[in-house]
């Protein structure tokens, strides 16, 4: 009986095996053949070029240069073993390091392994001559980001690096994947989707051991879209040279359209330092060189804010064009003296703007009141982003009594109002916000939205929704203050009189803001030519300047524009 059961089990198992074989050979033969064919096809990615970034005059700011990688085909192991010592000798890299790279980069016998990246043309030629003896060596050309203008406009452009986890989680649904090279900061990040290339591929047939048999097809890579900016790299260079190694920023803008022609921030960084391991890239983080001071940091504006105080005072009829105050060099507010930087004696509004008299504006601010000062600051675009087409723009900050009561559990005092009226205290602005504020006086009443992107892929990128609004201040008041701003330069005692020697009529306002013990921020903001303004300029020096020093920098830049026949 047991033998019969055993025989039955053996017959049953044998039948199962026959059915399984029949299934593989007949029923599933087409599906398995398809899988086999698919497994014999391999794709090798081909890299395209990232979109080129141009200035307004079609000068390349960020382009692509031809670079070369040395790769090795791992199919013939004996030839690989003979080739590696030769590569080590030519490259100057140890044999142990090359073996390590080969081991880490190996994925399959058909797939080339990258041994050396971004080698010089001289070495590429040297390795190319070795191919007759070592056919496993392959020189692969590919585009590499290059910066013909060096670090000019580095904060506007940004830099490239390997995608991080945070960006990958946000962008993986848009085709981004691990180890992709993406933009960080500036236009490289803002328009990364347009700038990034679409990869092509070689389709290869290999045998069951992974050895190459034949080339099946080729899909060429697509370069990214080119970008044209509103920047003028000639003036950008003048601004960055004027700043030198000093911390600060310069903005030059069209007062009517909002086109930004210059956005300089110092210190800067070399974008090329991020294309590979570099000490320079690490050092850039230690001195905040990656921060775009024109939009990503906010500072007390100092006396430049007096233009807002003046507009608010006249609009609310707390003062008029004939109002005069006596300046003895200080004003008693509460139980302390608030100093003026000089003794100006009798001052009217025009003289107070030209001489930047603190006492005049202390008294004006106290008459207006803190809430009205806050409201007029907001009307001139402070306390909120300008809408510039760059990432990481900060809001700045405009204080008011309710904020202080809620956030600090403190009351608002007249001393707070006095500080507020001359652009000190808790008020914070960016250089771009100040440029926008001064543009209101240049164009006689319009608050523009600054922008940098002119076209993408040859198509005009100007946003039809770009906001331009009228500042709710009477046009004649804007006109009065506009005329008064000339005195800052033309008056022999004007705080920016150093600009009077230039052969172009300039209107403006200086500012020196206290930022701690023995530390001041220097500002100059103005527009030119006065009759038909083409440019608004804002020069800012962080922590080591004055309004006079900022005026000197503005003079250098404008003189450079005249010398180069730009102006």
Task: Tell me the two tokens of residue 209.
Answer: 């051991």
* Residue (of 361, 300, 303, 308) closest to 331 by Cα position: 361
Query: Residue 527 has what pLDDT?
Result: 98
Is the per-residue pLDDT at 241 higher than 80?
A: yes
Identify the pLDDT of residue 564: 96
Segment holding 355, helix H or strand E:
helix 349-355
pLDDT at 279: 40
Beta-carbon contacts of 29 under 8 Å, excluding residues fewer than 6 positions away, are none
pLDDT in tens, 319-329: 999 999 999 99
Q: Is the pLDDT of residue 567 over 50?
A: yes
Helix (H) or strand (E) holding 284, with range, is helix 279-286
- What is the b/e burial string over 235-250, where b = at least 16 CB atoms within 10 angstroms of the residue's CB? bbbbbbebbeebbbbb
Long-range contacts of 12-20 (CB under 8 A, 24+ apart): none
pLDDT exceeds cutoff 90 at 470: yes
For 54-74, what is each residue's pLDDT tens digit? 999 999 999 998 888 888 878
**Given this model, what pLDDT does residue 225 score?**
95
Is residue 394's pLDDT more than 70?
yes
* pLDDT tops 80 at residue 236: yes
Range in 10-19, 109-118, 146-155 the model is least confident about: 10-19
Alpha helices in 287-400 (DSSP H): 306-315, 349-355, 358-368, 370-379
- The answer, yes or no, to whether residue 34 has pLDDT greater than 70, is no
Residue among 506, 535, 536, 538 nearest 522 (CA): 538
Other residues' Cβ atoms within 10 Å of the Cβ of residue 394: 16
Question: Are 560 and 552 a contacting pair, CB within 8 Å?
Answer: no
Q: Between the CA of residue 468 and those of 234, 255, 380, 434, 446, what are the distances in Å? A: 28, 11, 12, 16, 7
* Cβ count near 180 (within 10 Å): 16
Q: Which domains does the chain have, with CATH numbers?
A: 44-229 (3.90.1310.10), 233-563 (3.40.710.10)
Q: pLDDT value at position 284?
A: 45
End-to-end CA distance of the chain: 112
Instruction: Please tell me the predicted confidence (pLDDT) of residue 292.
Output: 97
Contact between 140 and 128 (Cβ < 8 Å): no
The pLDDT of residue 90 is: 85
Contact 557, 540 (CB under 8 A): no
pLDDT at 41: 59
- Across the chain, mean pLDDT equals 88
Q: What is the pTM of this model?
A: 0.85
* pLDDT, tens digit, 9 for 90 and up, residues 251-278: 999 999 999 999 999 999 999 888 754 4
pLDDT at residue 29 tops 90: no
Q: CA 420 to CA 369: how far, in whole Å?
A: 10
pLDDT (mean) for 498-503: 97
Contact 505, 515 (CB under 8 A): no
Question: What does the alpha-carbon distance between residue 216 and residue 180 come to, in Å, rounded to a whole number?
Answer: 26
Residue 39 has pLDDT above 70, yes or no: no
Digit-coded pLDDT (tens) for 476-486: 999 999 999 99
CA separation for the pair 10, 5 (Å, rounded): 9
Say yes or no to pLDDT of 546 above 60: yes
Q: Both tokens of residue 251?
A: 């903005």
Q: Report which of 336, 533, 300 is spatially closest to residue 438, judged by C-alpha positions.
A: 533
Question: What number of CA atoms fall less than 13 Å from residue 127's CA on the CB side?
Answer: 29
Instruction: Output Rg (C-alpha) for the chain, integer angstroms.
Output: 33
CA dist 399 and 365 (Å) reads 14
Among 66, 170, 147, smallest CA distance to 391 is for: 170
> What's the pLDDT score for residue 463?
62
CA distance 457 to 53: 10
């Amino acid at each position: 009986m047991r033998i019969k059961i055993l025989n039955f089990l053996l017959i049953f198992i044998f039948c199962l095996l026959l059915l399984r074989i029949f299934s593989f050979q007949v029923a599933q033969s087409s599906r398995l053949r398809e899988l086999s064919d698919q497994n014999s096809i391999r794709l090798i990615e081909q890299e395209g070029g990232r979109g080129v970034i141009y200035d307004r005059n079609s000068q390349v700011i960020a382009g692509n240069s031809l670079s070369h990688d040395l790769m090795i085909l791992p199919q013939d192991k004996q030839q690989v073993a003979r080739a590696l010592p030769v590569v080590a000798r030519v490259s100057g890299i140890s044999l142990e390091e090359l073996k390590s790279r080969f081991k880490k980069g190996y994925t399959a016998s058909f797939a080339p392994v990258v041994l050396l990246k971004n080698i010089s043309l001289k070495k590429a030629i040297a390795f190319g001559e070795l191919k007759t003896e070592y056919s496993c060596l392959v020189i692969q050309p590919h585009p590499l980001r290059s910066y013909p203008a060096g670090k000019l406009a580095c904060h506007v452009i940004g830099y490239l690096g390997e995608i991080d986890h945070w960006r990958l989680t946000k962008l993986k649904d848009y085709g981004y994947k691990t180890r992709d090279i993406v933009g960080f900061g500036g236009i490289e990040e803002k328009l990364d989707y347009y700038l990034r290339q679409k990869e092509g591929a070689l389709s290869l047939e290999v045998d069951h051991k992974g050895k190459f048999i034949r080339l099946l097809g080729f899909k060429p890579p697509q370069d990214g879209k080119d970008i044209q900016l509103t920047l003028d790299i000639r003036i950008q260079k003048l601004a960055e040279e004027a700043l030198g190694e000093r911390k600060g920023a310069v903005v030059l803008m069209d007062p009517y359209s909002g086109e930004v022609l210059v956005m300089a921030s110092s210190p800067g960084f070399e974008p090329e330092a991020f294309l590979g391991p570099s000490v320079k890239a690490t050092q850039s983080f230690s001195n905040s060189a990656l921060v775009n001071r024109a939009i990503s940091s906010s500072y007390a504006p100092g006396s430049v804010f007096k233009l807002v105080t003046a507009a608010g005072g006249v609009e609310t009829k707390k003062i008029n064009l004939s109002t005069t105050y006596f300046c003895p060099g200080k004003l008693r507010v509460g139980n302390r003296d608030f100093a003026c930087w000089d003794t100006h004696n009798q001052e009217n509004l025009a003289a107070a703007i030209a001489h930047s008299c603190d006492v005049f504006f202390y008294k004006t601010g106290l008459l207006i009141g803190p809430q009205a000062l806050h409201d007029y600051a907001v009307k001139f675009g402070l306390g909120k982003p300008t809408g510039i087409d760059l990432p990481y723009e900060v809001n700045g900050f405009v204080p008011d009594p309710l904020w202080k009561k809620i956030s600090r559990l403190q009351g608002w005092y007249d001393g707070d109002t006095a500080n507020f009226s001359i652009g000190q205290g808790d008020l914070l602005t960016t250089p771009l916000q100040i440029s926008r504020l001064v543009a209101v006086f240049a164009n006689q009443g319009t608050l523009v939205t600054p922008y940098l992107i002119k076209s993408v892929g040859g198509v005009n990128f100007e946003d039809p929704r770009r906001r331009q609004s009228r500042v709710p201040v009477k046009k004649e008041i804007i006109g009065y203050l506009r005329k008064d701003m000339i005195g800052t330069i033309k008056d022999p005692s004007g705080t920016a009189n150093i600009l009077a020697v230039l052969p172009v009529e300039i209107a403006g306002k200086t500012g020196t803001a206290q930022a701690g013990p023995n530390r001041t921020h220097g500002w100059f903001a103005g527009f030119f030519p006065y009759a038909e303004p083409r440019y608004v300029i804002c020069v800012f020096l962080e922590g080591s300047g004055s309004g006079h020093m900022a005026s000197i920098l503005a003079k250098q830049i404008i003189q450079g524009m005249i010398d180069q026949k730009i102006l």
